Amino acid sequence: MQKLIITGIVGVLIGATAFSTKPSISQSPAPKPSPTTEPAAKSRRLTIAVSVSAMSDLKVSEGQTLQTGDTIADRTPERQRLETQKVQLTLSLARLQSATLPAPAPPADTPTIAALPNPSFLEAQAQVEKSKADVDSTSATISNKKAEIDYLGTLPNLNPMTSGRSETIVLDHERAKLAELEQQHTATVRDYQLAMGKLSTAQENRAHQEYQHSLNQAERTEARNRDGLEYQRQIADFAEQHRDRDFQISQIQLKLNEIDNQLATLAAVRAPQPGKIRRIKWLGQAADGRLNAQLTFIPDRPGRAATLPEQPAPMPQPTEPSRDRPQSGDEDD
């Protein structure tokens, strides 16, 4: 009888334990949100801002799948235009740097003019003096001849009024000589005047030569000064050409630097990782004429295991009665 009571108490305890474990199964904690929820998806979303010259510069469309390095936007026409300008400017720079500016040659020395020889009028002066001496001599001879004729006319035998024809022949002869002397005098006077004219002409020619010589010297001095001024102008032009070339070189280098900076800003926008273009939003046109757009890029998630639904907790199995517990049949027995 005592064994039967103990067996009943143990059965009651086992039943109470099974009844108490049942509510714990229905009140299990709710499963944690999986990584595929919406907030997690938003955290993986990338916003890419691009600026293009034309809508055709945008190389993607909504829903397009991209791999790492795929081009999203590229301003190809503008880059080609800048690269063409760079080539042209590079050629111009090389041509300017290789060009050689010839330096102006100094003016040649102007040959000097030899001085005029000392004037010499000795021959003309001698001719004048000789002609004057002849005139004086002829004049003296004429005076003597006239005096002689006058004296002969005072002689009684040669007086035409008192003497015959034969006596007057002497006077006629002397008068004929006087006429010849007067003719000689006229010739000598003419020779004297001619000699004086030659002397005057020689003196005038000398004066003209001296004047012409002074003109030549003045012209050569003026030509030398003009050549000097022209040489100074050429030197100034040469320096100005150097400054212009240096200025052009500096301007071309500045333009090349600007083009390099612009080419640096024209780098193609590429996909940073595999993903998908979810949305393209055009924001409008900037003041410089460029079009601004905003792209929503959804990167691909790295590989992960599939999420399995949580299994309910297993029901506890009832405890088997102890093998050393007597069977009820035995008890009844």
Cα 36 from Cα 140, distance rounded (Å): 160
Q: What is the pLDDT of residues 193-222, one digit of tens each?
A: 998 998 899 889 989 988 998 998 888 888
Q: What is the pLDDT of residues 296-318, one digit of tens each?
A: 999 988 654 333 334 444 444 44
- pTM for this entry: 0.45
Q: Which residue has the higher pLDDT, 182 or 167?
A: 182
**Domain residue spans in the chain?**
45-74+268-298, 122-265
Q: What is the pLDDT of residue 27?
A: 43
Rg (CA), the chain: 72
Q: What dihedral angle (degrees, nearest 10) is formed by the CA atoms of 274, 277, 281, 287? A: 40
Task: Please determine, for residue 41, whether its predicted confidence score (pLDDT) is greater than 50.
Answer: no
Q: What is the pLDDT of residues 8-26, one digit of tens each?
A: 555 555 555 544 444 443 4
Q: What is the pLDDT of residues 95-135, one digit of tens each?
A: 988 888 888 888 888 777 788 888 888 888 888 888 888 88
Displacement of CA 308 from its chain's centroid (Å): 74
Residues 6+ apart with CB under 8 A from 202: 121, 124
User: What mean pLDDT do residues 130-150 have?
Assistant: 86
Phi–psi pair at 31, nearest 5 degrees:
-65, 145
